[in-house]
Structure 1
Amino acid sequence: MSPARRVPNRLSAVARSALLGVAALVGAIGLALIWVARIAAARFVYVSELGATGEPTAEVFRWSLVLVAVSAMLVAVCAPRLRPRVRWLAAVPPAAVLAGSAIAFGVASQVTCTVGCPLPVGSAFTWQDLIHTSCAVLGFAGAAFVMLQVATDRTFRALARFSLISAIAVAVIAGIGGLLSVFRFGTQVGGVLELVATTVALLWLVGLATFLAVAVRRDAPEITRQAQPSHAATPARMAATYSE
């Protein structure tokens, strides 16, 4: 293989690392915008209510979800292969699940809920709320599933521990907040818990992108050496050839 054919491999690793870095930055900006919208709301609300039709924070919230979707999709496309050790977690590639979550968040960013974000049941049913709620839940559930997948990864042990802690924290916090939301009890506390769970999940996404960006960049020289054929010309061989 000629040097010209080896260059794309090296650039591919560097480009992937750079895009993963962009994913981390974009995800962090998306999280910051959610907090900006929450602080601007000046009242206890659930996260999705920040983007409800007519809310002054709706545009900021919409962009925050768009950035989160872009971040998740970049990680899904550029991340090295992750290999969960648990069979049922490995049934679907983590990248595919994360890409599905990115699409769900993208749809939720464009189809926001109505005022008050009521549950799409009974007399309060609207297709708008159904689409937003379904996509938001699917996106969040997909991200949580990827956390579990990465938590059992065979290659990146430190990342696996970080993901396991994040998964447990999100499950407990979001579970309590979700129950309060369903029963419309302690909605102020429920709103705070949902925001905390969202923050932990997005910090995990940023951490995942950052960790993988460093890993891909670190392994780029090794990838290039592995791509180099054993019969490649060395200075000693070139000198021997000329002497002949």
Structure 2
Amino acid sequence: MTRLPRGRAPRLLRIVRQPFAMPLLARGWQRATPVLLAIGTVAVLGGLTIIWAARLTVPYPVYVSELGAKGAPTAVAFAVALLCIAAGGCAIALASGHIRSTARLLGRWTPALTLGFAGLCFVLASQVTCTAACPVPLIDPRSTVQDLVHTVTAVLGFAAACYAMLQVAFATALPRIARFSLICCVIVALITIVGGLLAIVHVATDVGAWLELAGTTVAIAWLAVYGVSLVRVPSPTAA
């Protein structure tokens, strides 16, 4: 049996236990982080641009999900936009694994995991879209299982994004972005709650549609700002 040179065995053991703690791999991951952040930021902003471009082609108020309804002329653009947002969110999540909330309840897992879950939800929502006019599940008799799946995944993805904002709001590594995240979280929560209630009771749906679009815009803009801010935050591997 061949013995490893003295000092080689402990080094290999450290690599197994902490693969990104060794200088070579740490430098490689450190170089990849800005690329992931750049790709993620461009992707989410591209998705937001596509959503607004699609919305402006519709001459009457519609909710965001209606842009991707089966048979809608903007269905393909809607699917592409959600996939861009999902891919960008996952890229930013991969580059932000070192960010963690200092609050006990919010720090059980990292914002990166929350954003990754939100990205998976948006991928599913982009492929399982609602039917024509996007009837509200369990309330509108026209709703189908497809509407239920799309609505649940879209709501879970949006809720996860808001929860990620709240987690970042209590991250000491990002003091300025923390305050910005808390403000965005409150704004998005209020806007989406009001817009959702208007959609359920079928009152002032044109106002509710614009509120939903505004909430979506704020949430995606927050993700882009968060991605850009991470460029200046060194990861533990850099040390």
Taking structure 1 as the reference length, what is the TM-score of the superposition? 0.85
Distance 1:141 1:76 in 2: 16
Listed as ranges, the matches of 1:76-95 within 5 Å are 76-95=93-112
Aligned-residue identity in percent: 40
Deviation at 1:180, TM superposition (A): 0.5
SS in 2 for 1:41: coil
1:70 and 2:94 equivalent? no
Query: Which residue identity does 2:163 align to in structure 1?
Result: F
Report the Cα distance in structure 2 between the residues aligned to 1:35 and 1:125, rounded to whole angstroms: 26
Matched, 1:55 2:67: no
Q: For residue 62 of structure 2, what is the aligned residue in structure 1?
A: 45
Question: Is the CA contact (8 Å cut-off) linking 1:166 and 1:204 kept in structure 2?
Answer: yes
Deviation at 1:211, TM superposition (A): 0.9
Q: Deviations over 1:6-39 (max 9, x none)?
A: 3432231121111111100000000000001100
* Residue segments in structure 2 that go unaligned for 5+ positions in a row: 1-10, 12-21
Kindly provide the amino acid, as one letter, of the partner of residue 195 in structure 1.
L
Contact 2:114 2:164 in 1 (8 A): yes
Which residue, 169, 176, 179 being the options, matches 1:151? 169
Q: Which amino acid letter does the alignment assign opposite residue 102 of structure 1?
A: G
Q: Are residues 1:169 and 2:187 paired?
A: yes
- Which residue pairs with 1:27 in the alignment? 44
**What residue identity is the alignment partner of 2:61?**
F
Conserved 8 A contact 2:90-2:116:
yes
Please say which structure displays the higher CA radius of gyration. 1
Judged with a 3 Å threshold, the aligned counterparts in structure 2 of structure 1 residues 223 and 145 are, in CA distance, closer, same or farther, namely: closer
In the other structure, the counterpart of 1:112 is 129
1:161-182 Cα shifts (integer Å, max 9, x gaps) = 1101111110111111111111
What is the root-mean-square deviation in Å for CA atoms of aligned residues? 1.6
User: Which 4+ runs in 1 deviate beyond 3 A?
Assistant: 5-8
Deviation at 1:223, TM superposition (A): 5.0
CA distance in 2, matches of 1:212, 1:41: 36
Which moved further from structure 2: 108-117 or 6-15? 6-15
| Distance (whole Å) between structure 2 residues aligned to residue 162 and residue 31 of structure 1 | 19
Q: How does 1:182-201 map to 2 (within 5 A)?
A: 182-201=200-219
Q: Is residue 86–residue 152 contact of structure 1 (8 Å, CA) maintained in 2?
A: yes
Aligned length in residues: 218
